[in-house]
Structure 1
Amino acid sequence: MRFLLLGLGFISTHVALTLSELGEDVTVTYRNLNPVKEEYIKILNNKVNLVKLDPLSSEIEKHVKGSDTVVNFIGEIKGSEDRLKLANVEVPKRLAELSFNFGKTFIHLSGATSTGATGKNVKEEPEHCKDSLATTQFERSKCNGEKEIMRLAIEKGGDVTILRPTLVYGRYAAHIQFVTMYRLSKLRIIPELNLDMATVNAWSIGKAIHKLGKVTGRRYLYATECGSVKVSKFFEIMAESLNGGVKIPIPTIFAKLALPAEIRSLLRYSGTTYDCSKFEGYAGELKFDESEIKENVKFLKQLDREGKLVPT
């Protein structure tokens, strides 16, 4: 099958490698590059097709038309309301419409926080995005993007899956959360935080997309492992892979003040877990993989050594 992945980042890099190893024809698009994305290009080179492309240009049509399944990774977690609307609503809407017009399967990566739901073993709402509890501009933009995609799928009879990943980790992660943890671990600081987050391995997302790209119908589901992981565990694994460290108890209130805004906004989801049963049916066994964090440290060390440790 021909998979078209829109957006070059650490998650799409893992997914592209998974699909390629499973024998699929994969194309990954990017609009611009930074030092980290240049590393992703090197990792993917000779394994997938790489295309520089603006997702809002007319050129996108031929690539959608030439694929079987279109997967959207494009999105923003911060910025003005207009910027969030463009990345999280307008771009996915256009890609979905093109996909359905050409009879292609569309897979969209949203976020577990799109409806603002919290609690234990949160399940997908019976009616898509109804009675949303989203409070931030980011959350609302994600839910609005999902609504537009589902509306178009129903209107045009399209096949669509909306995936809502929890905290995604993987060996090539360079999001600000992991760069922040790496830098503190490098300083031998292991914050002991009373925070637990639901997680998902980027490789699991790749396995799920491989199966979801070949099914029909319309669905939305959380992409998550079962249960949650203590945030301090990430620091411990990273510190162990570096030079060790000293555990320092950090009251949650101080963590909220010190952490970057993009991370602070996720703290209200501490302790929230999501039902993993639907995702497990596509991704297979779900279990937190410490080895991926250790591999991630190697990748971040390489970026650090080369002066490319810039959060993406």
Structure 2
Amino acid sequence: MKYLILGLGFVATHVAEYLSSYGEVVVTYRHLNPVKEVYANALKEKGVKLVKVDPLEENISGLVKDADAVINLVGEISGDEETLRRANVEVPTKVAKTVAKENPRAVMVHLSGMLGMTGNVRPEEKHCEGVAPTTTFERTKCEGEKAIREAGVNAAILRPGLIYGKYGAHVQFVTMYKFAKRGFVPAIGFLFSSISANSVARIIRAVVEERPKFTYFYATECEPVKVDKFFEAMARALRKRYVKIPIPKSLAKAYLPADIRNLLKYDGSRFDCS
């Protein structure tokens, strides 16, 4: 099996590392920063091939033609509208059109996100109908999904909750790390549906083997977990003694970074696990 993974982020690193045991893996990246250099070195040790390419500005036909599975993990959770639209709409649109033209036998897997629905959430019967995107992130993710559907490729769209893993370096986890390093664990009580990056990798391999015509689903663990647990896990890993300090949700909402505040609407939501 030949896997093409677009994007070199923390999820892609977990996925590529896992899939390297089951076939040939190629990972693309636009540029390297200190964090991505760590990812790149870890993957090279696993025999993963890395290719520098901008999927929007350069030709990716050759890479797509040679793959059995095209896995789009390019995405942004924060930034201005142009940044989010480029990553969450334009990239999946081009990738899907390239797959449809150059390699229609391939399976495309796309990592999307939650689209605004809260409470007890099940996938909508008609794709992207009845969902309630309100943030730019949610709207662009929904547009990206529609573009893949309209391209007519064999595709599986995953909508994960909060993804965690050993390579995690997103703002949410950096914030948690800073608190844990100081021995401070805020007892906020927020409940989030989450999933490990390793589980995402296993799901991706499974759907590639299934070769669906078109499917979309939420990818989370069955029960949400208190966000406090992530702070505690980091403190233990750092061997730091910590103090748990209760913080009212209203206060947390006022002072948390904007990228984290946008997730608070999903507090307590449960996603279909059938």
TM-score range, shorter chain: over 0.9
Equivalent residue for 1:275? 272
Matched, 1:244 2:233: no
Instruction: Tell me the alpha carbon deviations over residues 103-148 of structure 1, each in whole angstroms, 9 at most, x when there is no partner.
Output: 121111000x22x11012x110000000221111111111111111
Between Structure 1 and Structure 2, the one with more strand by share is: 2
In the TM superposition, residue 90 of structure 1 has moved relative to its aligned partner by: 1.1
Aligned to 2:205: 210
Q: Which residue does 2:161 correspond to in 1? A: 166
- Distance in 2, Cα, partners of 1:91 & 1:53: 12
User: Is contact 2:156–2:212 with CA below 8 Å preserved after alignment?
Assistant: no
Match of 1:93 in 2: 93
Quote the Cα distance in structure 2 between the aligned partners of 1:5 and 1:94. Answer: 14
Q: Which residue number corresponds to residue 74 of structure 1?
A: 74
Secondary structure at the aligned position of 1:216 is classed as coil
CA distance in 1, matches of 2:81, 2:34: 27
Q: Which moved more, 1:235-244 or 1:221-230?
A: 235-244
* Cα distance, 1:46 vs structure 2: 3.6
Pair 1:182 & 2:177 matched: yes
* Aligned-partner SS, 1:213: helix
Looking at structure 2, the residues matched to 84 and 241 of structure 1 have their Cα atoms a distance apart, in angstroms, of 33
Query: Residue type matched to 1:244 in 2?
Result: R
**Is residue 100–residue 106 contact of structure 1 (8 Å, CA) maintained in 2?**
no
User: What do you get for the CA RMSD once the two structures are aligned?
Assistant: 1.1
Secondary structure of 1:227's match?
Answer: coil
Report if aligned partners of 2:176, 2:231 keep a CA contact under 8 Å in 1.
yes
Q: How far did residue 273 of structure 1 move?
A: 1.2
Residue aligning to 1:310: none
The superposition leaves residues 228-262 of structure 1 with CA deviations (integer Å, 9 ceiling, x where unpaired) of 10011111122222211111111111111221111
TM-score by length of 1: 0.84
Residue 56 of structure 1 and its aligned partner are, at CA, apart by 1.4
Provide the identity percentage: 49
Match of 2:258?
A: 261
In 2, Cα distance between equivalents of 1:237 and 1:209? 26
2:248 counterpart letter in structure 1: P
Aligned to 1:53: 53
Of residues 74-83 and 143-152 in structure 1, the stretch that sits farther from structure 2 once superposed is 74-83
Q: Distance in 2 between matches of 1:136 and 1:46?
A: 39
Deviation digits for residues 197-233 of structure 1 (CA, Å, limit 9, x no counterpart): 0010111111111121131311001111111100111
Return the offset for 1:171: 1.0
Unaligned runs of 5+ in 2: none
Partner of 1:108: 110
- State how far apart, in whole Å, the 1-side matches of 2:216 and 2:92 are: 15
**Contact persistence 1:190–1:247 (CA under 8 A):** yes
Which secondary structure does the structure 1 equivalent of 2:8 belong to?
coil
For residues 25 and 78 of structure 2, the distance between their equivalents in structure 1, rounded to whole angstroms, comes to 29
Q: Structure 1: which amino acid aligns with 2:145?
A: E
**Which residues of structure 1 form unaligned runs of 5+?**
278-312
Q: Does 1:83 align with 2:80?
A: no
Which stretches of structure 1, 4 residues or longer, exceed 6 Å deviation after superposition?
Answer: none
How many Å separate the matches in 2 of 1:55 and 1:19? 21
Amino acid of the structure 2 residue aligned with 1:106:
M
SS at match of 2:269: coil
**Aligned with 2:271: secondary structure?**
coil
**Alignment match, 1:41:** 40
Report SS of the residue matched to 2:83: helix
Q: Retained in 1: the 8 A contact 2:56–2:90? A: no
